[in-house]
Homo-oligomer: A and B are copies of this chain.
Amino acid sequence: MAEILKGAPVAAALTEKLIEQADGLKAKGITPTLAILRVGENPGDISYETGAVKRCEKIGIDVKKFILPDVSKVLDTIENINADKNIHGCLMLRPLADKNIEKAACEILCPEKDVDCMTEKSLAKIFTGSPGFAPCTAQACMELLDFYGVELEGKSVAVIGRSLVIGKPVSMLLQNKNATVTMCHSRTKNLAEVCRNSEIIIAAIGKANFIDKNFAAPGQIIIDVGINLDSDGKLCGDVNFNEAEPIVKAITPVPAGVGAVTTAVLAKHVIEAALVMVK
């Protein structure tokens, strides 16, 4: 029986600490504030937004919502968020329908408010290993590993997927902790073998139940970042949990794994952005 690495205790521990920090900020007259920018009514966006708002409320972070019917006012809205000294962080729900506007938005957001790592400056910091806000989901993997005491130094890690929100940044964060990362993707040959030979797997490939028993090995830790629907319309990860769980040492569930940590990381970044004001 593998240890099940649930996200809730990780989020709870983060939240507890963040409440203290938010109280400290308020005592100094600063109300940590997150701007959420959403375009349209995508159910996934709304669901994530709802979770983020709930987490922020719990911690004592104000949320200002900017909900736009279409992309025409996205850039103006970001300029306003940049100019507003009472806003410390900005989450723009992505992807936008218009790639050019999304790109322009990423270019103009003030890097100090870029709590989900959408700007080039933030991405460069992750690449170079400088302090900065990583994408929330990538950072959530790191928080989860840290919470459960997983040593990363010298460990072999297979990261599957190379997106800018998970695969690439988490690879750099893991390397920063002296792990040896193999960056895998859809064109990787012998993927199952590469995974079997790795001590840790980070699955972020976006394919329901793709990582089956052939990828798993005894002693392994599997972090499943995927959020997919299986053929029955049921929420599932990139990992076939039922096949992998009996083999490995520890595994995150989906739902209630990494996904449960993401909004706590978002809140952490907002608090950190607000703390800069005090310094």
Contact = CB atoms under 8 A, between A and B. Distances in A.
A13 interface: no
Nearest to A188: B180
Contacts of A181: 182-183
A225 to B, nearest CB: 18
Contacts of A168: 127-128, 172
Interface in A97-148: 120-121, 123-128
A185 B178 contact: yes
A95 to B, nearest CB: 15
B124 A188 contact: no
A68 interface: no
Given A121-B120, A124-B120, A171 B183 contact: yes
Q: Report the interface size class on chain A.
A: 20 to 34
Contact of A189 (B120, B125, B171, B180): B180
A189 B124 contact: no
Number of copies: 2
Contacts of A128: 120, 123, 164, 168
Contacts of A156: 189, 194
A29 B249 CA distance: 67
A183 B175 contact: yes
A85 interface: no
Contact of A187 (B120, B126, B178): B178
A120 B182 CA distance: 24
Contacts of A180: 182-185, 187-189, 194
Nearest to A189: B154
A221 to B, nearest CB: 16
Interface in A165-179: 168, 171-172, 175, 178
A153 interface: yes
Given A120-B120, A180-B184, 4 more contacts: A154-B189, A178-B187, A181-B183, A182-B183
Interface of A: 120-121, 123-128, 153-156, 162, 164, 168, 171-172, 175, 178, 180-185, 187-189, 194
29 contacts: A120-B120, A120-B124, A120-B125, A121-B121, A121-B124, A123-B124, A123-B128, A124-B124, A126-B127, A127-B172, A128-B164, A153-B187, A154-B187, A154-B188, A154-B189, A156-B189, A168-B172, A171-B183, A175-B185, A178-B187, A180-B182, A180-B184, A180-B185, A180-B187, A180-B188, A181-B183, A182-B182, A182-B183, A183-B183
